[in-house]
Structure 1
Amino acid sequence: MRRNAGNRIPDGWQKTLLGAGLAVVPALAFAAEPEPKTFRDWMAGCDNLKSCAALSLPAEAADPVAYLRLERAAGPDMPAELTLRLRGDWKTPPRSVQLRLDGAPFPAGGKAMPAETDGDLLSLTFKPAEVTALIEAARKATKLAITAPQVSAEVSLSGSVAALLWIDEQQGRLNTTSALIRKGSGTSVPAAPALPVVIAKPASAALSEKDGKALAAALRKELKQRDPDGCEDDETLLSIDEAWTLDGTRSLVSLACSRGAYNVSHAFWMIERGDAKTAKPVVFPQGDGDAKNTLVNAEFDPKSGRINFFAKGRGIGDCGASGGYAWTGSAFVQTDLSLMGECRGIGSEDWITLYRSEIK
C-alpha cells in the first residue's frame, strides 16, 4: 500500500512539528516500550505485560473506515479476541453485516453477522470458532468484504499472518498448541509479567488562580534568563499556565510553551518553597524536549495526582500518542501509554497499548 507522508506519524517520533496545520508530535524515547511494528497493511504491538494487539490499517480516505482488531493477553490459557470496526456517517446504522473472504461467504453459509452501534462506530465481535476460522483463512485470502444496506467496505488481510506470527513470538507461543499461526505440540507458554502498581498521591492543597498565575509568571521570568527561546510567551499561552501545591514545600507549574492548530505543548516544572530560582524540570520517561519535561495537550488533576496527555497527529485525533503519569510523593511515574502512528480513522480506544499499570 502506498504511504502518504501527510497521513503517517514519522518513524521514531523524533521530531516535534509546530505551526498552523502541522501536528505536534512528541519525541518519545522508547527505552522500555518499542514502537508498534508494521507488516504491510497490518500493525502489531505489545505492552509491558506481553498483552499484544494487531490492527488492519484502513485505506487512506476510506469511507466508511473498516478495520479488524485482534487482542490477546499473555499466558497459556488466554484466548484471542477479534473485533471488526466500522466507522461512518450513518443515517440508520446497520444492525447486521454480511462478510465475504475473497468472494466466499464467511462464516460458511453466509449468515448475516449481528453488530452493535455506539454513535458512528459499529462493532462486530467474533465468536471463538469464527476467530479460528478467519485466522486460518487469512493464510490464503487477501481481503474481507463487508456489506449491508447502503454500506460497502473492505479490510486488507495482507500482512495479517506476519503480524500474528510476530505476536506468537513475543508471547512465547511458537510451536505450541496455543499459537495463532505456527502451531506445534508444545504446551509450555510463559505467564504474563506482573502488573506494575503505582500509588498515586493527590496534591496537598489548592493554589488560588491569582497565586498560581503569579508563580507561573515568576517561573517564566526565571526561565527567560536561563534560555530566552525556551518557551513562547504570547498572551494566549500565558492564559493557559497553571500551578498547584504538591506538598508542604513543592509546587508543580505547567507552562504552555507552544501551540499548533490542535495541540498545545506544556512544560512541567517543580519549584521549592515558592522560589522560581529553584525550578527544576519534571522528568517524564516519554517526555519531549531536552529536559524531557514537556507533554502535549496535558492536564494535571490535583485530586488524583495524575497527569494525562493526548498528542494528536492530526485534528480529528485518529493518530498520535496518549498516556499518563502519577505523582507518588517523590516523582511522576508512568501509568499508561498508547500509540497510533498511522492516521487512518482509528479511534484512540483501539490504539496499540505499550504500557499499563494499576493505579491506587
Structure 2
Amino acid sequence: MLQRTLMVLLLTASAAQALAQNAAEKVPLLRQTKEWITGCDNLRSCHALSAPNGEHGVQYSSLTLHIQRRAGADGPLEIRLDQRGEPAELSALRLDGQPLEPQLLDALVLLPEKKGAQIQVTRYEIADPTRAHQWLERLRNAEELKLAGNDEARVPLSGLSAALLLMDSVQGRVDGVTALWRPGQRPASEVPARPLPAQLRAYPGAPELTEAERTRISAAAVKLAAPGTPNDDEDYVAEPQVEVYPLTAQRALTVVLSDCAAYNCDYLISSWSRSNPPKLEELRRQALPMNNADGSGGANYDPKTGVLTTFYLARGIGDCGESGRWLFDGESFQLSDYRQMPTCNGLSSEDWPRLWNIAPPANR
C-alpha cells in the first residue's frame, strides 16, 4: 500500500512538472518587475533592461544594463552595459559599494561608437559566455551597480531576478542546465526550439503617381479623415496634412495627419484605387499586438522600399512610447518590427524591447 502511494505521488509530481514546463508564457509580452523591464517577441527572443522608476527617488540613469537571449537550446546570452554622456573609467564601477573583481572588469569589451548618434553612448559587451554567467551570478545577489561619485549612473538590481526567471519561463529553460536564474538537471535537449520566422515576398515596387492622381486622391483622403467643416464660432482647427504614395500600378496609399499636438498627431492610413474618381479600398495591414497606440503619433511610407513606419512618443525627446514597421509585399503590409518602452529613461527606440520580429525576404 505504501509503495503504491509513493508511486502515485511520484507520477503526480512528474505530471505537474511536465505541465509546468509546457505551460509557456504567451508571447509577445512586456512586463515591468520593480526596476526592470522584460520584453519577449513572437519568436521568444527576450530582452531585459534596467529601468529606474523613481522607487528610490531616481527616475533617470545614464547607465543601462541590457540582457538579451534568443530562444532555443543554443540561444546565445548577450549582456551589454551602456553609459550615456562622457565615458568613465570602468574601475569606478561599484557593486553595492565594493569594487568589481578584475576578471569581471576585464570581461567588458568596448564596442565601436555608433555613427550618427545624437547622444554619446559608450557601450561595453560581455562576449565570453562563461564571464557573462559570472556577471549574472554576482548581480542577482546585489542591490545596485553604479559609478562611484555619480548618483545618476546606476543600475538598480531590484527586479532582476524576476526578469531572468521570466526569460527562462518564456523560453522553456526553468530547472534546466541553460537556465539563467534557477538552473537544474533538465538537459538542454528539452529546451523548445526557436520558432521559425516567416519569409516575406520581395516588394515589387510601384510606378510614380501623376499630378492628377495625386490631387484627386489627396482630396478624397482629406474628406474621409475630416468630413465636417468647423463652424465659425468653433475654435480654429488646423487643416489636415495629407501624403499620397504609389502602392501598386492600380492602388495608392494615403497618410492623413490631424489634430496635431506638440509631437503626436492622429493619423489615418488608407488605400485607394488610382481610378478617376478614386475609390476607397481595403487596407490589408497586419494588426499590432498587445495594447498599442495605433492611430496616434505619426506615420510614414517609403515607396522605394515598401516600408511603412508608425510611432507614438510619450514625450518630446522620443525616449519612450512605441514604434512599428511593416513591409509591403505587393498585396498586404506584414508587421516586421514592433517595439514599446513604457518608462522614459533616455533610451533611443533601437534599444527599446522588441515585441515582434520577422525575417526579411530571402532575395533582399
- TM-score by length of structure 1 reads 0.78
Equivalent position SS for 1:197? coil
CA distance in 2, matches of 1:157, 1:217: 55
Give the alignment partner of residue 217 of structure 1, picking from 192, 213, 219: 219
Counterpart residue identity of residue 359, structure 2: E
Structure 1's unaligned 5+ residue stretches are: 1-31
Aligned partners of 2:52 and 2:60 also within 8 Å: no
Alignment partner, residue 82 of structure 2: 85
Q: How far is 1:323 from its partner? A: 1.8
What residue number does 2:301 align with?
Answer: 300
**Contact 2:42 2:357 survives alignment (8 Å):** yes
Candidates 190, 193, 196, aligned match of 1:191: 193
Percent sequence identity over matched residues?
31
1:41 aligns with 2:35: yes
**Aligned match for 1:75, one of 72, 83, 99:** 72
Task: Give, as a single letter, the amino acid of the residue that structure 1 aligns with 2:69.
Answer: R
| Residue 358 (structure 1) shift | 1.8
Partners of 2:47 and 2:353 within 8 A in 1: yes
Secondary structure of the structure 1 residue equivalent to 2:240:
helix
Letter in 1 for 2:338: L
Q: 1:122 to 1:334 in 2, by over 3 A?
A: same
- RMSD over aligned Cα, in angstroms? 3.1
Alignment of 1:98-137 (within 5 A): 98-108=92-102, 115-116=110-111, 117-118=113-114, 119-126=119-126, 127-137=128-138
Secondary structure at 1:342 match in 2: coil
Q: Which protein is richer in strand relative to its size?
A: 1
Contact 2:245 2:301 in 1 (8 A): no
The separation in 2 between residues aligned to 1:128 and 1:210, in whole angstroms, is: 60
Contact 2:52 2:61 in 1 (8 A): no
Residue number in structure 1 paired with 2:203: 201
Determine which structure has greater relative contact order: mean sequence separation of CA pairs < 8 Å that are 6+ residues apart, divided by chain length: 1
Deviation string 1:54-111 (CA, Å, 9 cap, x unpaired) is 01113556665211110001111222111111112x3xx3364532221232235785
Closer, same or farther: CA 256–198 of 1 in aligned 2, 3 Å: same
8 Å contact from structure 2 (residues 325, 335) kept in 1: yes
Matched residue type, 1:159 = G
- Counting only pairs closer than 5 Å after superposition, residues 142-221 of structure 1 correspond to structure 2 as 142-147=143-148, 153-187=153-187, 188-208=190-210, 211-221=213-223
Q: Is the 8 A contact 2:288 2:335 kept in 1?
A: no
Residue 77 of structure 1 aligns with an amino acid whose one-letter code is D
Q: CA deviation at 1:283?
A: 5.0
Cα distance in 1 for residues equivalent to 2:154 and 2:99: 14
